[in-house]
Amino acid sequence: MELKRFFKANRTALIASIILGILVLSSVLAPFISLYDPLSIDLDRIKESPSMTHPFGTDNKGRDIMSRVIYGARVSLSVGLLAGAISMALGLFFGIVSGYFGGRIDRGITILTDLTLAFPSLILAIGITVVLPPGIYTVLIALATVGWAFFARLVRGVVLSVKEYPYIEAAKGIGCTKFRILMNHVLPQCIPVALVAIGLKLGGFILLESALSFLGLGAQPPTPTWGSMISLNRIYIHSAPWMVIFPGLAIALTTISFNILGDALRDYLDPKFMLK
């Protein structure tokens, strides 16, 4: 019901979520819907412009770009969503612990949060990915390391006000354990903030993943990713621009959809909160 009202008020958000739904579905069903094997090389058909047989054209090794874009969605979407989920979980944990217990724990976590936010995100992510063995897991670790602090700071703010509420006092009074208070009474209050935050940040995670891939620090070849396709194909931009245009459009479509949805979610849940 709630969902229906939300989408009725935000038609652009509805379009964005339909696009995202299609993207997720096509990446899950990639083996069934892509016309070609994304890795199969066909040297008779290199750098072909978009046509009926190859809707996005082919690359310098004759691989079908549309299939590679569809398979690339698997990496970008799964890494983006997972990194978002991990960051949110870490942010909830540290934010709640820091806000609720206060004192030295709070100071320690706050310092760590401020420090993480003191780094420009891509630069910190580069620092982490260059020393770990390259691959998807490394990208996940880097994105979560960069991303958790934003969530932790917001959640801590919520917890600081929630813990003064009388019902928390009451829960303490009837002898609830700390664990129970945190899980049943504090955590649910933080969920809306965390959801809004993840809505605002998912696009950013996907952009960061594509930037790392572009720099050669993401999933390694032959796995196709949007970022690495742009990076490896950019020397052909003059003779075969479709090799660069389509993977970029895929990134753009995904991040724009996530950002529109995130904005709508924020306005819907609480317009005042989190201007920045």
Partner 1 sequence: MISYLIRRLLLLIPTLIGITFITFLIVKSIPGDPVLGMVGERTDPETIERIKKELGTERSFVSQYAGYIGLIIKGEMGRSYYTNQKVSEAIIEKFPNTLKLALGAVIISSITGILLGIFTAVKRGTVLDRIGSFLAIGGISLPVFWIGLILMLIFGLYLKLLPPSGMGEGNLIYLVLPASTLAIPSGAYIARITRTMMLDVLSQPYIATAKAKGLKEFSIIFRHALRNALIPIVTIIGLDFGSYLNGAVLTETIFGWDGLGRYAMDGILKRDYPVIMGAVLVGTVVFVIINLIVDISYAYLDPRIRVKGKS
- Contacts to partner 1 by CB under 8 A: 111, 114-115, 118-124, 126-128, 130-132, 203, 207, 210-211, 214-217, 227, 230-231, 234, 237-238, 241, 244-245, 247-248, 251-252, 255-256, 258-260, 263, 275
Smallest distance, partner 1 to C-beta of residue 176, A: 34
Print the SS3 string covering 143-180.
Answer: HHHHHHHHHHHHHHHHHHHHCCCHHHHHHHHCCCCHHH
Smallest distance, partner 1 to C-beta of residue 124, A: 8
C-beta closer to partner 1: residue 112 or 181 = 112
Smallest distance, partner 1 to C-beta of residue 173, A: 32
Smallest distance, partner 1 to C-beta of residue 184, A: 34
Quick count: other Cβ atoms within 10 Å of Cβ 203?
A: 22
Smallest distance, partner 1 to C-beta of residue 1, A: 28
C-beta closer to partner 1: residue 74 or 185 = 74
C-beta closer to partner 1: residue 124 or 168 = 124
Smallest distance, partner 1 to C-beta of residue 180, A: 35
C-beta closer to partner 1: residue 181 or 249 = 249
C-beta closer to partner 1: residue 175 or 239 = 239
C-beta closer to partner 1: residue 68 or 185 = 68
